[in-house]
């Protein structure tokens, strides 16, 4: 029997709407599809996907390492966000979290600095991408440090910002294609922005704004649920 969105679940809590249920499967499918689309062309040697800078012999190895560490970041971010795994196997969460930080996000973001310098982006595009790389490093490091300090609410918040930045790889392509094919304005906008606004700037701002909105919304709901259940709110002294 299916439950309506508002009907109570077996535990007496309101049933969650379908889009609020674990979204780990669609996320994994999306990230996997991106890897299947983007990685194989790079495995064919230096004649691969994008034009490489002939003046920088390290451009190809840098790209391969960047994509390799990026793949680890994609695989481990799915594990990190999986509520079931976090609850049942905290040791796996800790190990895959370290992999995400030290064998995924940090090396891929650091290597992107070489790609920014060697690649064909305009100065405006290079600055936007460098800001994205810097934010990726900062949010991931702060998220890791907060976990070590056992400040888990802060850890969760910073790691969700890190998630917004790692998945920017997808949003930037989606936004660029969306703008390109937007009826009427596509080619005009592209001629004006040269693809250096949508990917290098706009997309990570959109991702961060969405995660920030979601964090505020869930925090409000949690506060309301606590107030409804009579449990004290954090930071509020219990009277009586
Ligand atoms: C953490 C932040 C990241 C930054 C700042 C970043 C930055 C960059 C830069 C500057 C390039 C070269 C673009 C060019 O020369 O036009 C690039 C290429 C690429 N990056 Fe990243 N990247 C990041 C994360 C990732 C992740 C997590 C993946 C996942 C696998 C990834 C996959 C790729 C791929 C496949 C390319 C080659 C471009 C293509 O074939 O379309 N990147 N990235």
Structural domain contains residue 237 = no
DSSP state of 151: -
Where in the sequence is the domain holding 148, given as residue range(s)?
21-224
Structural domain contains residue 236 = no
CB 76 within 8 A of CB 105: no
Q: pLDDT of 112-148, one tens digit each?
A: 999 999 998 999 999 999 999 999 999 999 999 999 9
The C-alpha angle 200, 205, 210, rounded to 5 degrees, equals 140
Q: What is the arithmetic mean of pLDDT over 2-26?
A: 53
**Cβ of 164 below 6 Å from ligand 1:** no
Structural domain contains residue 179 = yes
Q: Is 60 exceeded by the pLDDT of residue 102? A: yes
Q: Whose CA is nearest to atom 33 of ligand 1?
A: 67
pLDDT of amino acid 5: 35
Q: pLDDT of 47-101, one tens digit each?
A: 666 788 999 999 999 999 999 999 999 999 999 999 889 989 999 999 999 999 9
**Cβ of 135 below 6 Å from ligand 1:** no
Across 1-15, 39-53, 127-141, least confident range: 1-15
Query: 99 C-alpha to center of ligand 1: Å?
Result: 18
Q: How far apart are CA 141 and CA 208, in angstroms?
A: 17
Could you give the dihedral angle defined by the CA atoms of residues 62, 112, 82 and 75, in that order, rounded to the nearest 10 degrees? -10
Q: What is the arithmetic mean of pLDDT over 15-23?
A: 60
Structural domain contains residue 3 = no
Split into its structural domains, the chain has a count of: 1
Query: 233 C-alpha to center of ligand 1: Å?
Result: 42
Angle between helices 106-118 and 123-148 (to 10 degrees): 170
**Cβ of 173 below 6 Å from ligand 1:** no
Q: How far apart are CA 157 and CA 139, in angstroms?
A: 9
**Cβ of 169 below 6 Å from ligand 1:** yes
**Cβ of 101 below 6 Å from ligand 1:** no
**Cβ of 136 below 6 Å from ligand 1:** yes
pLDDT of amino acid 12: 46
| Residue 126 CA, closest ligand 1 atom number | 10
Q: pLDDT of 173-223, one tens digit each?
A: 888 888 777 777 666 777 666 677 778 899 999 999 999 999 999 888 888
Res. 237 pLDDT band, cuts 50 70 90: very low
Q: Whose CA is nearest to atom 15 of ligand 1?
A: 119
**Cβ of 98 below 6 Å from ligand 1:** no
């Amino acid at each position: 029997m299916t439950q309506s969105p508002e009907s109570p679940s077996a535990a007496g809590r309101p049933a969650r709407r379908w889009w609020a249920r674990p979204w780990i499967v669609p996320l994994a499918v999306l990230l996997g599809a991106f890897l299947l689309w983007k990685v194989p062309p790079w495995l064919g040697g230096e004649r691969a996907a994008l034009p490489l800078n002939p003046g920088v012999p390290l451009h190809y190895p840098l790209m391969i390492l960047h994509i390799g560490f990026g793949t680890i970041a994609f695989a481990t971010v799915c594990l990190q966000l999986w509520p079931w795994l976090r609850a049942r196997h905290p040791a796996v969460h800790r190990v895959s979290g370290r992999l995400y930080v030290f064998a995924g996000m940090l090396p891929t973001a650091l290597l992107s600095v070489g790609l920014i310098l060697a690649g064909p982006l305009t100065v405006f595009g290079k600055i936007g991408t460098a800001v994205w790389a810097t934010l990726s490093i900062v949010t991931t490091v702060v998220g890791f440090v907060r976990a070590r300090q056992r400040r888990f609410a802060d850890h969760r918040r910073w790691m969700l910002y890190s998630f917004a930045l790692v998945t920017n790889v997808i949003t930037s392509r989606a936004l660029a294609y969306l703008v390109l094919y937007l009826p009427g304005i596509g080619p005009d906008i592209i001629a004006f922005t040269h693809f250096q606004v949508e990917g290098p700037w706009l997309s990570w701002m959109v991702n961060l704004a969405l995660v920030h909105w979601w964090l505020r919304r869930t925090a409000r709901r949690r506060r309301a649920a606590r107030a409804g259940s009579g449990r004290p709110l954090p930071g509020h002294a219990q009277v009586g």
